Amino acid sequence: MWLVFLTVPECIVCVSPGVFLIPYLLIVFVGGIPIFFLEIALGQFMKAGSINVWNIAPLFKGLGYSSMVIVFFCNTYYIMVLAWGFYYLIKSFSSTLPWSTCDNEWNTPNCLETFHHLHCGNASLANATVGGANLTCADLAEARSPIIEFWENKVLNISSGLDQPGRINWELMLCLMAVWVLVYFCVWKGVKSTGKVPFRPLGLGP
């Protein structure tokens, strides 16, 4: 439940953090936490899932279905986060990390490998030359890190707007499929087999 707070869209929090937090915290403490502990207590008592547990009160059975819908969307989002991590893991096996240089096809002319923002902290150095690249602090203000460009231009492949959906990142799609398969085998035989899944491909599991 608390992880959902960390995944709140950034635009909502930046535009009106106070207005958003008031109804959010109200729903969390009035509805979210009580229903969460109620489902856990009833689930352990009746040994049933989030849907069958509400057979004790058929009037509230819709809470079980709604919680399953919420869990589905949350799991779909977190699977995508795992796919990003798996994608970075595969790319990290290259001799030169693709997010460490500006010589890639997805980099822009504003890409700069070395930043010297510490030297530009003083207002009197606003026009000073920084580093060996003969760049001023004004030039650094428009510079972009290769890490950010790898994330936005290569991984996310952000387009210029909603009217241009862009292309499908097939590498990332394969990572997403691989993570879904891994999660399937984790829950295939229940929670007890989850810890054995990472070791079986290595021949270490029973």
Rounded Cα–Cα distance for residues 130 and 123 (Å): 14
188's tokens:
């295939």
Q: What is the pLDDT at residue 179?
A: 93
Amino acid occupying residue 15: V
Q: Which residue has the higher pLDDT, 13 or 79?
A: 79
Backbone angles phi, psi at 99, to 5 degrees: -95, 15
Per-residue pLDDT, averaged over 113-131, amounts to 56
Q: What is the pTM of this model?
A: 0.66
Q: What is the DSSP letter of 135?
A: E
Residue ranges in the chain assigned as alpha helix (H): 2-6, 10-15, 17-27, 33-46, 61-91, 137-141, 146-149, 170-187
Q: Tell me the per-residue pLDDT of 62-90, one tens digit each, with 9 for 90 and over.
A: 888 888 888 889 888 899 999 999 999 99
- Please report the DSSP string for 48-89 in residue order: --TTGGGGGSGGGHHHHHHHHHHHHHHHHHHHHHHHHHHHHH
Ranges 1-5, 77-81, 118-122, most confident: 77-81
Predicted pLDDT of residue 130: 47
User: What's CA 92's distance to the chain center, in Å?
Assistant: 18
Assign 31 a pLDDT band (cuts: 50, 70, 90). confident
Strand pairing report for 135-136 and 129-130: antiparallel
Q: Contact at 8 Å (CB) between 43 and 36?
A: no
